[in-house]
């Protein structure tokens, strides 16, 4: 058997055992496995499996790991790119630190941080909930209490935590407690997770400055909470902006249009307030 065929079979078996795989997907994968065990050719069976999965794949409605598998058997190498989870770690306690931000869909929270000088790694994941090893379906269904978030490892000699907090405010709507932009639900609520007292003080001062700025008409509702276990999201979600550029750009454009409109409203409101206060 060819090496790549062995790898494909191994992926197939792992997906069948994966608790995150939906039952319909598992049934299709199991049928393929059974046929292969009975002597069918792998190319023929993968072609049939691709046809079964295609309708949901085209609607972006496969579970993350099955989506990766679908991309691999259809030759979509860029979308199937594997994130190296082993590189997401603090290796220098003197000059490295971490920050965790929840600001709606984590797809749009990676690129703005990852492209900054001094950022070592950005990981999409789930945090703040009450279940171990949550899956995307569980979090999306609001069964676990988790929010989608990003964990950022950065070099403190190059970029400071204060700068990350200020960037976070620019990327989110701090007046929306029920989601962010087009993403609705408790899993998208805005939260800054702080891992020590220093981060808490910095975040609280930054939030207070934002409140006093008068930029927003509605109250600032972004929460500040202590960090908890950060569970990495499935590979499909990592660096989404690189692997699914067109889809990412559509979502990001919508967010930016809303933020631009919100900033314009704030600017007009501040100018009107300044005008009405003149003697």
Backbone angles phi, psi at 113, to 5 degrees: -85, -45
Q: Which residues pair with 22 in a beta bridge?
A: none
Structure token pair of residue 72: 């691999």
147-155/179-180 β-pairing: unpaired
Q: Choosing from 105, 110, 120, 164, which is the catalytic residue?
A: 105
Instruction: Please state the φ and ψ torsions of residue 202, each to the nearest 5 degrees.
Output: -60, -45
Beta strand 223-226 with 191-194 is: parallel
DSSP H or E segment with residue 13 = helix 3-17
DSSP state of 133: S
Q: 3-state SS of the chain: helix, strand, coil percent to 5?
A: 50, 15, 35
Judge whether 105 counts as a catalytic residue. yes
Cβ contacts of 102 within 8 Å, gap of 6 or more: 127, 128, 147, 148, 149, 150, 188, 189, 190, 191, 192, 193
Q: Which residue has the tokens 């891992």?
A: 195
From 161, 158, 247, select the one nearest 203 (Cα to Cα).
161
Instruction: Write a three-state SS string for 61-120.
Output: CCCHHHHHHHHHHCCCCCCCCCCCHHHCCCCCCCCEEEEEEECCCHHHHCHHHHCCCCEE
Q: Which residues are catalytic?
A: 105
């Amino acid at each position: 058997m060819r090496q790549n065929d062995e790898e494909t079979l191994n992926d197939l078996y792992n997906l069948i055992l994966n608790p995150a795989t939906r039952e319909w997907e598992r049934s299709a994968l199991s049928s393929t496995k059974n046929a292969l065990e009975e002597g069918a050719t792998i190319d023929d069976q993968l072609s049939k499996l691709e046809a079964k999965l295609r309708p949901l794949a085209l609607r972006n409605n496969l579970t993350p790991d099955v989506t990766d598998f679908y991309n691999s058997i259809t030759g979509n190498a860029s979308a199937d790119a594997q994130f190296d989870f082993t590189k997401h770690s603090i290796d220098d306690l003197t000059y490295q630190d971490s920050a965790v931000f929840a600001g709606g869909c984590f797809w749009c929270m990676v690129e703005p941080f990852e492209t900054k000088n001094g950022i070592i790694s950005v990981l999409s994941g789930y945090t703040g909930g009450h279940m171990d090893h949550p899956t995307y379906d569980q979090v999306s269904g609001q069964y676990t209490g988790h929010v989608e978030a990003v964990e950022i490892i950065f070099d403190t000699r190059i970029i400071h935590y204060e700068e990350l907090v200020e960037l976070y405010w620019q990327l989110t709507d701090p007046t929306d407690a029920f989601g962010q932009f087009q993403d609705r639900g408790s899993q998208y609520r805005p939260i800054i997770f702080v891992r020590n007292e220093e981060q808490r003080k910095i975040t609280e001062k930054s939030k207070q400055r934002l409140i006093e700025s008068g930029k927003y008409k509605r109250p600032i509702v972004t929460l500040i909470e202590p960090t908890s276990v950060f569970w990495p999201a499935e590979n499909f979600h990592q660096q989404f902006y690189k692997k699914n550029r067109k889809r990412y750009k559509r979502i990001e454009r919508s967010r930016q249009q809303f933020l631009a409109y919100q900033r314009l409203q704030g600017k007009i409101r501040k100018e009107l307030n300044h005008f009405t206060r003149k003697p």
